[in-house]
Structure 1
């Protein structure tokens, strides 16, 4: 009697070699579950020595062939466990990798039927299939039924729970529950265990649990392990604890390239660009050669810092090392140039890419959206449609953001049609982007249709629709939707309150605005930001309550910014209070001395009061401090084409027709004895 030794350990199957025959007989409770394997059987001699088959099958047979190979005990009593085990192992790996749950269940059934149920290696692979398919109930059942477990078994479940995503928060906590059971059963955790737990802490966004895991790591003597230490650096980096991350990094005895890259990533993530490049220089001094991941992190740093010169230097290094052939590095280059608003250089880099993926296309499209070039963004996505790469939800959301900024309803409708065709409109991110795009183009009906089509709207969906109502002046509808959101037990966040306060401000609903501001601070205990105070001051100012607005402005716990002061000055202009406007303007000039809009606003206030000397003084200040005043523009869409106009603009091809119609309207107004309201008319400063 002996055990069959397979490729992944000893099988829990008893084999008795018959004296009269060299064929081993495998005894199970159900003898009908025996199989034969044609022409490739292993030979066993009388001494029990096993000889390998003459040829090895390179690819596993399909599942149907395994079923066809099941025969009755009368035809044979032999099972080649090695090939059967290899078949199950290969098929389980494929099922786990591709998320084939139904195939995994079929394999599970065959494993039980053929008597391999207690083989630990196959049980671990079955567990991995259920975990990868996010069927945690079945995974836990299988785990509890296992008679023998090793550290791989525990790690499979803990690691699977760690990578389930933030939408499965209960499953994230499941990882720690099994870690406690693991310790109680005296199973020693290893590096994989702790890296999975650290990833869980990041997903849970809980640094306190992360510190406790760090203590366990030190207790088990793994604090100097390069693999675990890199995961610790990543943990502290994502919580902004750069000092703690650097201390972990400095204590690593034998740093590899991954350790250096994670520390560079830490600095880049926390916008410490100089430290990132300083560490890169130190890395090169110690003889560590950079890779594509290093260059990607440095390019991201240059993009965040807004340093085109640093980015160009890294670009030169990328070309020297031939990393520009890597799609991820080239996409990072495009992103760096786009964030520095060098859209021409970004497009040159994009056009020079030998191969592109959906991230490359999306990065370039986002770059056009960043500079407000919706037309080029649409051209690029049309080119993307003609290629082999299809857009994903992020690409569509980026295009919709660009279309919304340019108010192109035709282009929004085209993107919407594509989203519906490929089912992207059911994805929340795309649906929310459609709401924003339609609202910015003034089509509130389509925005509401997109909102109503969402089966389970999240907080972003509600907030987007409330903001859409506020943006289009439908204050009552915005407030009603906010109340409806509360009735659905949806917990509002600061952005949701900002939307409803904006709705109250646009509608002049002072009582309602004060009510929601009090609700936010006293009931939901949300600390108001500068944006909330801006809405409230604008609300009071529009209603003519300048003294109340001034008291709120001077008693704010945060320093008033340009938006707050600008809103207050605008209210003072409407209600003719030049004294308070002058007080706010002095603060505004100190905050933004080179912004010509501020001087224009104050000049118009003095002009409306007839204070021409003050008007001349403000104009001189603007000429001395401001280089150039960007003219305000208006635009309209006709037959799918967006037409843009500025004051006294004659560059449009049909400018003569526009001015002729304008004169006709002026004459009609004069005939009707219409007197225009000049309170909101700005001088041409």
Structure 2
């Protein structure tokens, strides 16, 4: 085959040059291109030169270009433009400017294509000074009126956040095409000025192209301007860009950012093809919209389609695992990364640490942190936050010292994590020292979160006056977290009087926050102030305040199962009921003290675990795990409310003898010191009646008075459960319960 005219050989050699991993000797292939005469074609030579920055040191690359340019006697700077373009795409974009200056020194004059290429290099390393010099060169060389050059200058000024220069240059342009408008708008979008980008878009007097619409869709997503986004969607369809993958991905991302899931699903389903960007955008958007289970389903579909995930995809999947508490799925992702030899970047490693922490595996979180080849302050913050969450305050302090010793400068988030660690571990002295270190040594201005941690730290230690003094000395207004921390401290330490003052501040900020009312009612209940409890509950009803429904998720065999308080619709509900009943019957007769704190929280909660009145919040999902042949591991359980494992309230249930008969024992249910506990009795009795032939006897009394109020106080509640399931009875003896007698 004649090499000079052998296009197949030319194509094969260029293909090898574009695949660095398959090249054993760049010099050999380059020599073959030169000796074969293939580079007589200037465009082939330009392709070769554009690849030089990936293989050859800058001096050698420039010398090669200079040699070819002189030998071939090119009259235009095509090869130099290609070399500069190669550097603009490389990890060292500033070398493009160096090559431009060497070109001028050798007497090679630029053309109108040179300046946009060099300006692209300036964008990569934010070389605004070099860009200004290039603008002066365009005037000197009479390219300042060229539309192509002007568009490039507008774009570089906008991207480098020199918006005044960008707008001034744009206003002086005698002619503006769609590229001019898109250069300005995309620059504002990349700089984060999304509102300004929309304003310029509204002034456009030319038809937008797909690049313009994509930039505006990004702005709409960041602003949450879904109505404008829908209008842009109509323009996409009008201009027949609907089949464009870039436009489709931009629409998908916009709808997800605006939390319009149905429209996002429709866009995703209608995409004619899906690339890694499509899948990753959808998965990431679902995670951000708090639909982690659906995100995992989409990831499974992505794998089935044969698309390989990248680091960004894996980060989103790990975030979904963290939200679900899906430990086995998170471990699978970890194993996948190791099996595929994927390099851990800082973001991926940090997300791995966060996933293991939220799934309860603090040891694996620490191990993953040590596996990271590169760490930044965000990585350290993730580790410190994980240790803080799990109550390892002393370990967090040690890692903080190690972080500082390695020269990593802590930021505000670092001190939020370390103060949280001190708070959860009761390290008052250390926490105060860290707060002083932050303000005095690192000169960081405390955020509201720092003050919140300090108030919580002092309040938990019983130093309520000191905590309140800190709040009054704060230069910023206290938020709900701070007043809530003070209110919680009052509850823990029995300070009822101050709690009412703190409540007034809380209600001013969050009048519809159910947690505020519940916390105050629990404080009153702990002090046996039932009239105040009733007043708080009445205020909740008048203000139309409702408690957030509790949900929890348990992962079994790699699948997440969700349970919601008051709704028991799981397909395995029958097995769970049986497991719950078996658990309850094994505990009847055991007397455990009714905890003084938080007892009122069981009020009006009709989950199976509450109905049986025995188990912590995790008992339903724990029983489900038991039915699946697994142990209930709390580390694999996710919750939407605060973690709080209350003690059993089985102390209000006892077996006794009915009258003077010699028959089987009866279940005696005593409602002691709790005016609302009867709300869950009907369902409890229904469950018991289906599983036991033993009669049920209901007795009600108040420990504070020692007087029985009789069956009539709850007769309306349990009337449907008439005999044989429920009947009045007298006792041959008094049954002493925790807190007082039940008559």
Shorter chain as denominator, the TM-score bin is: 0.7 to 0.9
Alignment of 1:289-438 (within 5 A): 289-424=207-342, 426-438=344-356
Q: 1:475 to 1:669 in 2, by over 3 A?
A: farther
Distance 1:179 1:352 in 2: 46
The reply to whether residue 676 of structure 1 matches residue 595 of structure 2 is yes
From 254, 258, 263, give the equivalent of 2:184: 263
Distance 2:457 2:137 in 1: 54
Moved more, 122-131 or 371-380: 122-131
Distance 2:235 2:321 in 1: 36
Given that residues 154 and 169 in structure 2 are in contact (C-alpha distance below 8 angstroms), is that contact kept between their aligned partners in structure 1? yes
Structure 2: tracts of 5 or more residues without a match: 605-743
Given that residues 595 and 626 in structure 1 are in contact (C-alpha distance below 8 angstroms), is that contact kept between their aligned partners in structure 2? no
Distance 1:619 1:426 in 2: 52
SS of the aligned residue for 1:452 comes to helix
Offset of residue 385 of structure 1: 1.5
The reply to whether residue 543 of structure 1 matches residue 492 of structure 2 is no
Alignment of 1:158-197 (within 5 A): 159-165=85-91, 171-172=92-93, 174=95, 195=116
Given that residues 130 and 138 in structure 1 are in contact (C-alpha distance below 8 angstroms), is that contact kept between their aligned partners in structure 2? no
Partner of 1:60: 9
Moved more, 469-478 or 262-271: 262-271
Q: 1:125 to 1:262 in 2, by over 3 A?
A: closer
Q: 1:113 to 1:162 in 2, by over 3 A?
A: closer
Q: RMSD between aligned alpha carbons?
A: 4.1
Offset of residue 539 of structure 1: 2.6
Partner of 1:464: 382
Structure 1: tracts of 5 or more residues without a match: 1-36, 42-55, 64-90, 166-170
Moved more, 494-503 or 323-332: 494-503
Offset of residue 257 of structure 1: 1.2
Alignment of 1:505-516 (within 5 A): 505-516=423-434
Instruction: Spell out, residue by residue over 1:347-379, the C-alpha distance to the aligned partner (whole angstroms, 9 max, x if none).
Output: 222112111101111111112212333332222
Distance 2:384 2:368 in 1: 13
Q: 1:370 to 1:572 in 2, by over 3 A?
A: same
Offset of residue 405 of structure 1: 0.4
Distance 2:149 2:487 in 1: 56
Distance 1:326 1:352 in 2: 11
Distance 1:98 1:92 in 2: 11
Q: 1:622 to 1:151 in 2, by over 3 A?
A: farther
Offset of residue 398 of structure 1: 0.7
The reply to whether residue 642 of structure 1 matches residue 560 of structure 2 is yes
Offset of residue 644 of structure 1: 3.4
Distance 1:616 1:221 in 2: 84
Given that residues 96 and 133 in structure 1 are in contact (C-alpha distance below 8 angstroms), is that contact kept between their aligned partners in structure 2? no
Offset of residue 634 of structure 1: 3.1
Given that residues 131 and 156 in structure 2 are in contact (C-alpha distance below 8 angstroms), is that contact kept between their aligned partners in structure 1? yes
The reply to whether residue 475 of structure 1 matches residue 393 of structure 2 is yes
Greater RCO, 1 or 2 (C-alpha within 8 Å, sep 6+):
2
Given that residues 182 and 188 in structure 1 are in contact (C-alpha distance below 8 angstroms), is that contact kept between their aligned partners in structure 2? yes
The reply to whether residue 106 of structure 1 matches residue 28 of structure 2 is yes
Offset of residue 333 of structure 1: 2.0
Partner of 1:71: none
Distance 2:310 2:17 in 1: 25
Offset of residue 323 of structure 1: 1.4
Distance 2:145 2:530 in 1: 74
Given that residues 268 and 300 in structure 1 are in contact (C-alpha distance below 8 angstroms), is that contact kept between their aligned partners in structure 2? yes
Q: 1:230 to 1:545 in 2, by over 3 A?
A: farther
Moved more, 482-491 or 107-116: 107-116
Partner of 2:414: 496
Offset of residue 209 of structure 1: 6.7
Partner of 1:128: 50
The reply to whether residue 248 of structure 1 matches residue 169 of structure 2 is yes
Number of matched pairs:
597
Partner of 1:660: 581
Distance 1:224 1:617 in 2: 77
Moved more, 458-467 or 195-204: 195-204
Instruction: Spell out, residue by residue over 1:467-518, the C-alpha distance to the aligned partner (whole angstroms, 9 max, x if none).
Output: 2222222222222223223333333343333333322222122233333333
Distance 2:386 2:418 in 1: 10
Given that residues 225 and 252 in structure 1 are in contact (C-alpha distance below 8 angstroms), is that contact kept between their aligned partners in structure 2? no
Moved more, 533-542 or 105-114: 105-114
Offset of residue 387 of structure 1: 1.6
Given that residues 319 and 351 in structure 2 are in contact (C-alpha distance below 8 angstroms), is that contact kept between their aligned partners in structure 1? yes
Offset of residue 300 of structure 1: 2.3
Distance 1:526 1:145 in 2: 56
- Relative to the length of structure 1, the TM-score reads 0.74
Offset of residue 407 of structure 1: 0.4
